Structure 1
Amino acid sequence: MNQFVTDVVVAGSGLLGLATAFELLSRDLDVTVVGPRTGDHAGQASRAAGAMLTVFSEVEANHDPQRVSLEVGERLVARTGYEAWLDRLGTASNKAVRLVPGVWVIGNGYGPDDAANLRAIAEAAETHGCRAEFASPAAVPGLAPQVRAHEALWLPDEASVDSTILVEALTAVLHANPRCRWLNTTVSTVNERGEHLAVGAADGSSVLAAHLVLAAGAGTTGLLAPELAEQVGAPPLRSGRGVSLLARVPFSLPTAVRTPNRGFACGSHMVPRGDGTVYLGATNRLSTEPDYGQPPILDEVATLIHDASAELNTDLRSAGLIEVRVGHRPVTLDHLPLFGRTGHPMIHLATGTYRCGVLLAPRAAAIVADGITAPSSTSTHPFSPQRTMDLPALDDLIDGASRGLVDMLCQPGGSLPPGTQELLERFLAAALHEIAAGSSTRAVAMRRLWQRAPMAECLPLLLDAAGRIR
């Protein structure tokens, strides 16, 4: 058995793990990355990401103002330093990673809240001193939908990047750095051994380290034995499973175009990848037990293609399919990331970024590195793994999220007669309230599921459980 000694082990080879290793090396620390370097990286969120740097366009009209202020503020800090971070990476790797500036957000009849969401997005941008310009949908390059867009919002301070090229550049830097060792395997065990952590790998290797950074996405906390997990005290993670695809399209797309969030997902979006290739994304289905080996199902692909063709460009129907990808986005119960030192002084987290992992990667890396090199500097950060989470009650959430549930049920492309959307919203809310308050097998199963994932994205699972259990 090979045994190594290092300053820091980074468990995970997605974007957050690689960015953290890159930052730690810049602070003169020896780093060992434990995670797949080759292979298809099944289920990894980084390689399935649209990689839009969406500072403002993730905002929704019904979001709590304090939450908007916190999240937008952190995303803006990350965005402000992104070009400088890419310059550092490009210099170190000799690989240019290009940003495509700007994102268009369009509103149409598919989303009953689109107009309010676009105004909330614009207000968030303007509040933080950034531009948000309303325009005619006819001014949006590459937009040719079947469903008529009624307005468009241009966000010049947002951007997009090719996550595959970004990961390749980080991989090249780490692989070439003499202070970085990369074990092309996975973590199997973590134990304390005196003043070190002993990290066992699936290939039989063992690494002794002063610090461990867990950056393995939705499966991060499952790497710890129960007794160590109790010391760490990390909040639970769930998976937002997303299906996306790459296609060669018969039209020009100079910059990303998206709809607002709806139906517990990030709306339809197409992102340019160069040479006539476009990324289409993305579905979002909560999973309490993610299966990284599960391939995309036809319903997910059909929803993706139908909504993008109807809402963004009808010529997508004649596009050439290149690849379909599945990624499991790590999400916490309060939707905020987990960056920094845990309840165990040698164990740190870099995960929970949900739909903003590409944007927040350098920010996460700096916060985690600060927690290692200056231990008390990040303990009060709002993304600290040691924070207290305020979680909603089921009754409150049902009342507030029933519209998203109806939006999801109508995919792909479904429509309801006038006035019936509100009727169905009220009916579903009343039915879920009634079932959850009962004592039947169905009610007990719903409450058990809710206890595992008390968040809006759980509502489709509750509806499914209510329909399946007899």
Structure 2
Amino acid sequence: MQSEYGRAKLAMDVRATSLWTEWEQQLVEESDEKSLRSANGTIVILNTIGVPEIDSAGYSSIRAALDEYHEPYEDLDPEELDWLDPDPVSRPLKAMFIPNEHALNTQALLRGLATAFTRAQGTLVDAHVTDVRIAGDKTEGVVLSTGEILSSPSVVIAAGAASRDLLGALPQDIRERIPGMVSGYGVALLIETAEGRAPDSVIRTPNRAFACGLHAVPRENGRIYLGATNNISPEPRDTPAIDDLNLLLGCTRQLRKDLVDGRVDKIYVGNRPVPLDGFPLLGEAGVDGLWLMTGTYRDGLHQSPLLAQDFAARLTGKPHDTDLDVFTPLRAPIQAMSREECLEAAVQHTLALGYEHDWGIPVDWPPVIEDQLRRLYSEALDEFDPAFTPPPELLASASPEINEALHTYYRAYGERL
């Protein structure tokens, strides 16, 4: 909410929320699914884990956004919340209920989309795309891993964190002016609770520690989806890191003490698409007929009804939402934070990682660590570019591959300043 670009992304989320009821109903009618929804509303808690610069500020920002958009919510007494029974040192201080913020069973959603699509005479091709065919300044189609070629004058790349791998056919001067993509790799768990009982609503904290907050999402048969970690990685990953599993399992104490008696049914590993400047890539990619619909980071599934309608209009030449043009792929790096704001966010989120890991250190050590982090990140910022500042999670990643990608992207526009 501190920059025009962040507010534009928030506006997209709010508009997408208004589309979901009709979108869900249409998918249910056009598929074999009885329902896609898995939770009624969301309870946001502010507990004693984390740091006030992030958790308390995030909680206040949520309320400010709800007020601004006239979205209903109500304050709750955290001690009276059903299902929640945390360890005393993790107890919530505040809570609010957002009745229009629901959750979906994503497996049912994907089944419903596939069924509705094929019944509408769409064709699903079960093969990976390995390349995009471009001749001159026009798109001709795609090449499949089977060697088959699918011809089309229009191609939409919506492959999440893997989207960048399909831009190799673009001329270098165009490719370098599109933000590269890295992965927000994360782990989540499907847990069968000890009592076989899940909450009726989502229960979550605000975003913190570079991640999307601790959240428990009800699933069928008394299970919960527990998520989720977020680590910036140069490449997508498909196996969970032990450290992420340890963090999630340790976080169960923030929700219910007896979750340690439950059972892990499944481990999920996913990769969020994170552009080098942190904002979506929506629109044509420098050659006629090639489109990007990716880079949505944590918002893609939620924004899908909005983006689907908008891109259908763009591809068929109908009026589209020009507000999304701010996120055109061929762009100079979006600067949503000053260098000072980026530095402070990187320091505070890194410290929050320690508290979420329940570090046991002398009380006088955190200020020393904070001072060292500020010095380390400040030196790293000075090495990046005099004009451009990366998102704080990329600054804190300390990845040579990501640093080199940032330098390449910044050079493409630094020469034009």
TM-score band by shorter chain is: 0.7 to 0.9
Structure 1 unpaired stretches of 5+ = 1-62, 438-443, 466-470
- Note if 1:254 corresponds to 2:195: no
Partner residue, 1:43:
none
| Of 184-193 and 268-277, the range deviating more from structure 2 | 184-193
Partner residue, 2:390:
454
- Do the aligned partners of 1:191 and 1:228 also contact (CA within 8 Å) in 2? no
- Do the aligned partners of 2:198 and 2:223 also contact (CA within 8 Å) in 1? no
Using the size of structure 1 for normalisation, the TM-score is 0.76
Q: Report the secondary structure of 2:327's partner residue.
A: coil
- Do the aligned partners of 2:133 and 2:169 also contact (CA within 8 Å) in 1? no
- Note if 1:306 corresponds to 2:247: no
Deviation at 1:305, TM superposition (A): 1.1
- Note if 1:405 corresponds to 2:356: no
Partner residue, 1:93:
31
Q: Which one of the candidate residues 369, 388, 405 is aligned to 1:424?
A: 369
After TM superposition, list the pairs within 5 Å mapping 1:165-244 onto structure 2: 165-178=108-121, 180-193=122-135, 197-228=140-171, 230-231=173-174, 233-244=177-188
Q: Which amino acid aligns with 1:192?
A: I
| Structure 1 CA distance for aligned equivalents of residues 399 and 148 of structure 2 | 45
| Structure 1 CA distance for aligned equivalents of residues 249 and 379 of structure 2 | 36
- 1:324-376 deviation line (CA, Å, top 9, x unaligned): 01000001233322223232220111111111222111111112112211277
Identity of aligned residues (%): 27
| Structure 1 CA distance for aligned equivalents of residues 224 and 322 of structure 2 | 41
| Of 334-343 and 183-192, the range deviating more from structure 2 | 334-343
Q: Which amino acid aligns with 1:288?
A: P
| Structure 2 CA distance for aligned equivalents of residues 217 and 168 of structure 1 | 19
Change (3 A) 1:346 1:155: same
Q: Which amino acid aligns with 1:121?
A: I
- Note if 1:334 corresponds to 2:277: yes
| Structure 2 CA distance for aligned equivalents of residues 416 and 110 of structure 1 | 15
- 1:201-234 deviation line (CA, Å, top 9, x unaligned): 0112111102000011111021132434654653
Using the size of structure 2 for normalisation, the TM-score is 0.85
Structure 2 unpaired stretches of 5+ = 402-417
| Structure 1 CA distance for aligned equivalents of residues 117 and 231 of structure 2 | 33
- Do the aligned partners of 2:185 and 2:269 also contact (CA within 8 Å) in 1? yes
Partner residue, 2:295:
352
- Note if 1:285 corresponds to 2:231: yes
- Note if 1:104 corresponds to 2:47: no
Q: Which one of the candidate residues 106, 119, 143 is aligned to 2:84?
A: 143
| Structure 2 CA distance for aligned equivalents of residues 206 and 189 of structure 1 | 10
- Note if 1:268 corresponds to 2:214: yes
- Do the aligned partners of 2:28 and 2:36 also contact (CA within 8 Å) in 1? no
- 1:170-210 deviation line (CA, Å, top 9, x unaligned): 112223443x2222111122223586513110112111102
| Structure 2 CA distance for aligned equivalents of residues 139 and 356 of structure 1 | 31
After TM superposition, list the pairs within 5 Å mapping 1:108-127 onto structure 2: 108-113=47-52, 114-127=55-68
